[in-house]
Structure formats: structure tokens, C-alpha cells
Structure 1
């Protein structure tokens, strides 16, 4: 059996730094595009004199996507959705204007609604941003005593979403690649890494990269395929061939990882690298990198008797040749690999039965209202960022809160320090809007680089952008107001503290309690992989196992950093970690026909352990 996966490690300082400096394929260009979009948003806001320009810049950073189609769709969808919300806000403003108690009640109800949607619906990536904008706008309007000014403020709130949405729709088609390009580059990356593992199997860094890519599964690539189908620029046959290549690229990487692990397990073996197989993989990668796909791929010779290498070679001749030509278009075809999972609606299946959704919404609302009352009692307008922060940092389990608290505070302090230093040393020398935009681009680029990295550090990137924008974007043009930067950073830190205190004090939800369900789902996916009737479906199921395994490992990682009094009752945490290592090996072994029976027997023993 292949060597078990490396144990999940907590986010130490050295690991965080490695994730920050990691140069993963496409990360630099994605960060440049995100920073450009934020800068254009600021430019449009300066031209239109949009107040509180930091909010549109933050919304742009939060919603920006890697490909042009998803950006356009997200920009249109968020504007349509917010148009409906504006109508709701107009009615609430009419009822709450000059009625402080009514405003507080409306703020609480809106906060509860958005937090509930964030927990129990597919609106999760957008619900918090919408809640941030709506609640902040309601509070800002509540400070306006005149109805006409309130109406104007409401229209400005619409611009908070309209400007980012317009930038996404108008700018993305020019600076973002096609989803098909992203897809072919992702396949090329899988193949190149597979070749590297076969050539230098002892390279630990390559093993870590392979594990990261495998845990991502194929969901992102399938989404790119679906978006490519919506473009209506590509032939159905081309999309069908790419659909065939997606699970096979993940399968080749998994098998290459298994072969590399087998080699490192037996240091006395001196098998020569399979040069013909490696050359074939690299030639295919070059074709995919150029946006095309290879055809008539020869069956490379494999000098070793390693069954993993033999299986890799057997996958290549049909790498881009689907078993049948579907009559459906690319969009529909892209959905086939996911047909095993039951179609889900807008809300989660347990939306009305799981009390955790309501509890999460209550805790999020309590955080917002505590911040709101502190903000009003102190009569300190500069710390209104504490309210905004509550929507950004709320997380369901204590492990997530603890593991990301350091990232939040570090990101906020980094962004705040960057903003204050720019106010002291750069702002006095800015003489035109171009120089100001260069400064905004530089700050956005740093935040976007971190945010475009591993999901474990993406929070820190957004916090850097949050502190930087809220401190430097006051009024119109460069600012020299140090008080604003100080107050807004204090507000961010206060919001972090309040949210952490509320979520860890009331109905504290431990990540450890969710591990068993995650393990059960992972074993179920592994059973489906072993029972798959065709090679293509088996590869698709294997990718699903990797995705489920990633979620399980993240829960174990979160549980391992929870407070000591909670970890004291986690007797089975080490056993859960061992089980995930075994599953990681089994899903690779199950792709090899000669080892499938043994993998099935070991899976049965894992079922008994979990039961």
C-alpha cells in the first residue's frame, strides 16, 4: 500500500509564511487582475463621488472571480439581487427614519436574515457581503435626519453594489481568461506535476503539491467547463473531450503520487524513471497549456512492473476520447460527473431541522447588535468598522474561529500599518489621481496575493484589504487624516473580539462533533468509487473522495486548535487522523485493478472502526 498521507498540521508561523510565499500556477496573474479591478472600482467611485468608497472596493475584492464568464454572471446576479433588497430597504427606511428603536429592530432582523442565508443556503459566498452593505447602509441612513437625504443615501447604498457589479461585467471580459483556458491550464498542471513525481519521487515539496491539488478534486475544473459551455464559443465535441480529460488528469496525478510513495517506501529499489511515460505526459501538458487538447495519444512503454505506472499508461490513449458523443451541449455535459449526488436546491437539506443554522444566525446577529450599541453609546463614528467586521469574520465552529483569529488580527494589523505608513510617507507627495491609484493598486495587490493563495490564508488577505481600504479611502482623493486610520483599525479589532467572544460563549460548536459525519461521507464516497461500473466513473468518484477527504482533514485541523478544555474530550482525534490517512491511500490504491480487492477488504475494516 502507498505511504499514508502526511498528518494534518496546525497553522504554525512557518507554515503560514510558506503558504504566503508559495508561487502556485496562476496565482500572480489572478492577484494582478483582482488588484486592477479594485483600482478601477476606486477610480469609478472617485469620478462619481461615491461616499465610503472602501465598501465598493471591498465588495469587488470579495466577489471577483478568476474567469470572465463567472465574473459577468456574478456581477449581473448580485446587482439584480440587490435591486430587490433596495426595495425592501426603502420600505424599512420609511418606517425607521427618526425612530431609533425601529432602526435597531430592523438592523437585527436584517442581520439575522443574512446570517441565516449564509449558513443554510447556496447564497453563502454573497450573503455576508450583502448583509454588510445593507446593514451598514441602514445604520448610515439612520444618522440622517432628513427624508430627502435618506433617499439619497439609499441610492448611494445601491452604488456600493452597482459599481463593483458594473466593473465585473465590463472589465472582466477584457482582462480575465476564458474558463476553457483556465481548465486546460489546470489539466496541464496536473500532468506536469505527475511527470515530476515520477522523475523525482523523493521530492517532499512535490508530494505536498500533489496532495493539495488532489484534495481540490475536480469541482473547480467542472465549473470551468460549465462556464465554457455558457460562452457558446466552443464546439460541443471539444467540450466533451475536455470533460473526458478532467477526471483522468486527477486520476493520473493520484496514481503518480501512489507510485512515488511506493518508491520512497522501498529505498532499496533502483528502478529507472519511466522516461517514455514522463515524456508523453509533458508533451500532453504542453498542448493543454496552449489551450488545445491532444488526440491520438500513443500507449507509452513502462519499463517497471509497478501496477500504478501500468495503470497511468492505460489511461492515456483515451485521455480525450469520450466513450460516446453526447447530444447535449457543454453546459449539460459538464454536469454528468456530479450526477451521483442528488440535485440540491437553494437551501440546505436540513434548513428547517438543524438548529445550528438558527443558532449561527442568532450569534451573528448578537455580534452585530453588540457592535452597534457600543458604536452608538460611545458616539464614536470612526469605529463603525466593528459592525462591518462582524459579517466578515463569523464562522460556525470554535476551531475555525481560533485558527483564523490569528490570520484576522495579523491581516488587520498589516493592512492598517500599510495604510498608516502610506498616509505618513506617500500621501503628502501625491499630486494627481494617477499617483493615488498607483498607491491603491499596490495595497490591493498585496491583499489580493494573499487572498488568491491557499484557503487557509485567504482570510488574512481580505483583512489586509479591509484595513487598507477603510483607512486610506476616506472622502475623495488622498487623505492625511491619521485619526480615521486609527479609529477604523480599532473598530476592526473590536469587531474581531466581539465576534470571537459571542461565538465561543453561546452554543459553542466544536469542529470535533462534525468529524464523524465527515468521515462517514468520505467512506460512502469511497464505496461508490469501488462500485463504479466504468473507468471514467471510477475516476470521477475518486475525485469526490478527495474532496470529501479534504473537508474531513480541515475539520480535524480545526478541532486540533480548539481550547484545551475542549480538546480534553477528543480522545478519538488521533484515530480520526489515522483513518483519513488510510482513506487517502485506499482511494489511490482503488484506482489500480490489481490492488482493488485488497482495498475493498481494508475499506470494510474502516467501516467497522467507524461504527
Structure 2
């Protein structure tokens, strides 16, 4: 549920990677067991030190996406082994852990290669989706459609560039074809942005129909897994700069820039740690708060001698994030997802389990709930995490040992553990050095302004489309930071007027990015950029 990917290459890499990581973790846990077994104080000290290290890495290094999961696995492994008898049983438990984690890794590799599309096909489908959205905007725009188009625009090219990279690893596609598809991915974002701008003004029906016909043909080619090599510039009335620029982009839609290799080599390589890893006290403060939450959760369930609520420790690693806005958002998703998944689990124990007499029915039950959780997880990023929690809470509720359980105490204990972990983490992060998401909005807005400046300096169709894609990613970061700031507790939330001013500036920057694509030399750009800088300061 957590690791499954869209394409076969990513699944194979993740499947192999998870087994390598687990082997390393089990080796570390095995070594630490010899230091802490039968030494309760030693276990407490090691747990605290490891928690601090993983939280610090999650805040100040390139391990941000996985540091918390590695820390969670290591700490939980140490705590679980603490209840296992000494001797051969410990070694056998670690070996079986490696075995049952090797199974999903192997399934991801084998099943992913059998049923998942190639990353190239995922890429061409994404390009086709943007072209289809563009001609829908030109034909019959409405509020809901514009909202969907905006969400698609804000994705930028991040996902599509990942597909290009994964397709390159397959070594079965021509580098020239991949370069053309890479440019097509960047161009599709610009076409969608121009269509969004055009939908807000009156478009001659003849021009709209002509562009729609071209986009439909292109989308059909991409949907078949190919790309158009020569696209003729359609004959339009050129009634607006936006329409003219859309027509100008088409002949170079799949033409890669000659200077692409030079620009890639100019990118500055960054190290493993962030530049301010050892100078910014916020990283240490974050690690201290996270460690305090983990240790308080550990001491709580040990003092209560309530082993079933061990999910409180897992929760501390999952919901701890650098700012309060991020943490509240994720905490809300974890609570709602856990309650829904737990409700599914309890309902199935009461109403479904008594009627099951074999593994087939139980697998069907798991399939249905997993499908619901996976459907939510593949949705909008704002709610995707709740889908994972629906599945996880259901598995924790209905699975115990090596099969299904009818014990209601399991569901109760694990949901109580999740709620307790949420409460402890929230209390720690709001009581000590609370960090507001609004404090980081200035940097986001300055980055957005720099992207807009690069748009004005672009001289070729390829560089203009690439600059626009970077601007869309910067817009997403700014909008998401503002959303986090608005979800923070009232006592630390920014003033409403400040939030509205920032929202207005971001909305204006979104419109400006589309306008710059059609008219790079806008006379009002310096004034609008200066306003963005003032708000960022």
C-alpha cells in the first residue's frame, strides 16, 4: 500500500531497494540487541539517541522522505524484540522478519513487471491528459474544469520527468525519442497554461475549433504510446497573443533544445546535508521535539503495560513534521483515515467474519477495503495520505499473527495507540519551539519571483516552456505553504489580512506566469514583481 508505484521500473527498483534497506536495518537491530537486551536503561538511551538521529536526518538531509520510516522500523524493532525471550528465538525472529518483508519486495518486482505499464507509456498518457484538458478548456470551460486544470498545472513536470528517467533505465527506448518526449512533456504544460488563460477571454469559435482538432489528434497519438514528429502550425485568425503563442509552440512541441546538455551540466550539485544543517537551530529543535514525543509514548505504554497501543510510537514518527501547519494537516489525515479504516475493520469483524469459512472470502474482504484505500491514495495530494491510513488501520485491526482476528480488543488498542500518539506529538510540537509555516512563505515567494524573472529572460520556445514548468512548481510550493499556514492553531496563525495579501499575490503570480508565456516583455512586470518582493519581505 505504501510503496506501490505507477510503472514497472519504479516498482522493481523499490522492491529491490526495500529488501536492501531491511537487511541493513536488521543488521543494525541485531547489533543493538546485544547492547540493550536485559539492560532496560540501555534500551531507553539507545532509543532516544536513534530517535534524535533519524529526526535530525529527516529535517536536515536528503533522507527527508525515508528517514522517518527507517527510524520507525528500527525503533519499533528494538521495542518488539525487547519482549522476545533471549537466545535463538531472537535470531529466528529477525530471520523471519527478513523473510516476510522479502515477500512484498519480490511481489513488487514480479507483479509490477507483469501488470504495470512502462514508464514511457505512463509519460505519454500524462501528456495526452494535458492536451485533452487543454481542448476541453477551449470548448466549454467552467469553474470545476478550471479547478482541475489548475491542479494539473501545479504538478508541473515533476512526475513526467521521473517517468523520463525511469524509461531511460529500461535501455530499450531510443535516447532521441526520450528527448523528444521530455520536450513534449514540458510543452504540454505550456499548452495547458495558455488554454487556461484563453478560457478566461473570448475566443473566436473558428480558432477554438481549429486548435481543438489539432490537440485531439496529438492526444490520440500520445495515448497510443507514440509522439507526433512534425506538427504544422495551424492557420488561425491570431486574434490574441495567447492564441498566437499556442500556434507558435506546436511546430517545436517535440523538438528538444540543442543546449539541453549544457544547462543540465550547469546545475549545482548539493551534498547529503542541507547547507544550514549544522548552523540552523531549527533542525536540532525539531529532533529534540520528535525524540521527546517518542520517549513519552514509549514510557506511557510501558508504564501502562499495554502492549497493544504500541502504534503510539509509530504515530510519532509519521506525523512529526517541521512546521505546525504541515503537522496538523497530516495529523488530521491520519486521524480521519485511521477512524475510517478502523470502522471498516470493526464492522467486518462484527458482520462479515462470522460468515467466512475460508481464506477466499477473507481475501475478497481485504481486496475491497484495499481498493477503497488505494483509490483515495491515488487522488489529490491533500487527501492521499488518508487513503494509506485507511488501509493500514484496517490491516492492523483485522490481521493478527498469521491470519484474521475476531478479537475486538486488537482494533480498540491500536486505534487508541494512534490517538495517543497524535495527542502526544501535537502537545510536544505546540509547547516547545512551535514553528509556523508562514515563516517560510517569504522564501517561497522569492523563489517564485526568480522563476518569473527567468520566464521574461527566456529567448527560445523550449526555454520559455521549461521556465513556465518551473514557475508552476514554485506556485505549488507557495500555495501549499499558505494552506499549511491557514490550518495552524489560532494562537500562532498569521493575521488574516497578511494571509489574504499573500493569497492575492500568489493568484496574481499564477496569472502573470501565463501572461508572460504569450507576452514576455510585459510593461507591468517590474511593478508586479516588486509587489511580490515586498510581500515576501
TM range (shorter): over 0.9
Q: Which moved more, 1:219-228 or 1:403-412?
A: 403-412
> Aligned residue for 1:582?
508
> Aligned residue for 2:276?
350
Q: How far apart in 2 are the matches of 1:170 and 1:117?
A: 32
Match of 1:381 among 297, 300, 307: 307
Q: How far apart in 1 are the matches of 2:501 and 2:198?
A: 26
Deviations 1:331-361 (A, max 9, x none): xx7x877667533333323222222222222
Q: Which moved more, 1:337-346 or 1:457-466?
A: 337-346
Deviations 1:62-97 (A, max 9, x none): 222111111211222232233222222111100111
Work out whether 1:245 is the aligned partner of 2:199.
no
Match of 1:219 among 124, 137, 158: 158
Deviations 1:228-287 (A, max 9, x none): 000011111211110221111000011111111233xxxxx8755521111000110011
The 5-angstrom pairing of residues 74-93 of structure 1 reads: 74-93=14-33
Is contact 1:137–1:157 with CA below 8 Å preserved after alignment?
Answer: no
Q: How far apart in 1 are the matches of 2:367 and 2:68?
A: 25
For structure 2, which runs of at least 5 residues remain unmatched after alignment? none
Structure 1 428/609 Cα, relative in aligned 2: closer, same or farther at 3 Å? closer
For structure 1, which runs of at least 5 residues remain unmatched after alignment? 1-60, 264-268, 327-332
Q: Which moved more, 1:479-488 or 1:75-84?
A: 75-84
Q: Once the 2 structures are TM-superposed, how far is the Cα of residue 609 of structure 1 from its aligned partner?
A: 5.0
The 5-angstrom pairing of residues 5-404 of structure 1 reads: 61-159=1-99, 161-201=101-141, 203-263=142-202, 274-324=208-258, 341-404=267-330
Work out whether 1:423 is the aligned partner of 2:363.
no
Is contact 2:298–2:313 with CA below 8 Å preserved after alignment?
Answer: yes
Is contact 1:530–1:600 with CA below 8 Å preserved after alignment?
Answer: no
Q: Once the 2 structures are TM-superposed, how far is the Cα of residue 462 of structure 1 from its aligned partner?
A: 1.8
Work out whether 1:452 is the aligned partner of 2:378.
yes
Structure 1 568/217 Cα, relative in aligned 2: closer, same or farther at 3 Å? closer
- SS of 1:101's equivalent in the other structure is helix
Q: How far apart in 2 are the matches of 1:399 and 1:407?
A: 13
Deviations 1:126-182 (A, max 9, x none): 222222222111101011231222222222343464333222222211121111111
- SS of 1:344's equivalent in the other structure is coil
Structure 1 568/515 Cα, relative in aligned 2: closer, same or farther at 3 Å? closer
Deviations 1:498-532 (A, max 9, x none): 11111111111101111111111111111122122
> Aligned residue for 1:10?
none
Q: Once the 2 structures are TM-superposed, how far is the Cα of residue 105 of structure 1 from its aligned partner?
A: 1.4
TM-score w.r.t. structure 1 length? Answer: 0.84
- SS of 1:352's equivalent in the other structure is coil
- SS of 1:590's equivalent in the other structure is helix
Q: How far apart in 2 are the matches of 1:413 and 1:605?
A: 44
Structure 1 487/594 Cα, relative in aligned 2: closer, same or farther at 3 Å? closer
The 5-angstrom pairing of residues 526-545 of structure 1 reads: 526-545=452-471
Q: How far apart in 2 are the matches of 1:412 and 1:282?
A: 42
TM-score w.r.t. structure 2 length? Answer: 0.95
Give aligned pairs, total: 537
Deviations 1:105-142 (A, max 9, x none): 11222222222222222222222222222211110101
Structure 1 186/338 Cα, relative in aligned 2: closer, same or farther at 3 Å? farther
**Higher RCO (Cα < 8 Å, 6 or more apart):** 1
> Aligned residue for 1:22?
none
Q: How far apart in 1 are the matches of 2:262 and 2:347?
A: 52
Q: Once the 2 structures are TM-superposed, how far is the Cα of residue 550 of structure 1 from its aligned partner?
A: 0.8
Is contact 1:97–1:147 with CA below 8 Å preserved after alignment?
Answer: no
Structure 1 234/185 Cα, relative in aligned 2: closer, same or farther at 3 Å? same
Structure 1 74/567 Cα, relative in aligned 2: closer, same or farther at 3 Å? same
- SS of 2:402's equivalent in the other structure is coil
Structure 1 199/337 Cα, relative in aligned 2: closer, same or farther at 3 Å? farther
Is contact 1:274–1:303 with CA below 8 Å preserved after alignment?
Answer: no
Q: How far apart in 1 are the matches of 2:264 and 2:291?
A: 35
Q: Once the 2 structures are TM-superposed, how far is the Cα of residue 571 of structure 1 from its aligned partner?
A: 4.8
Structure 1 594/522 Cα, relative in aligned 2: closer, same or farther at 3 Å? closer
Q: How far apart in 2 are the matches of 1:242 and 1:509?
A: 42
Structure 1 259/447 Cα, relative in aligned 2: closer, same or farther at 3 Å? same
Q: How far apart in 2 are the matches of 1:232 and 1:555?
A: 39
Q: How far apart in 2 are the matches of 1:594 and 1:372?
A: 58
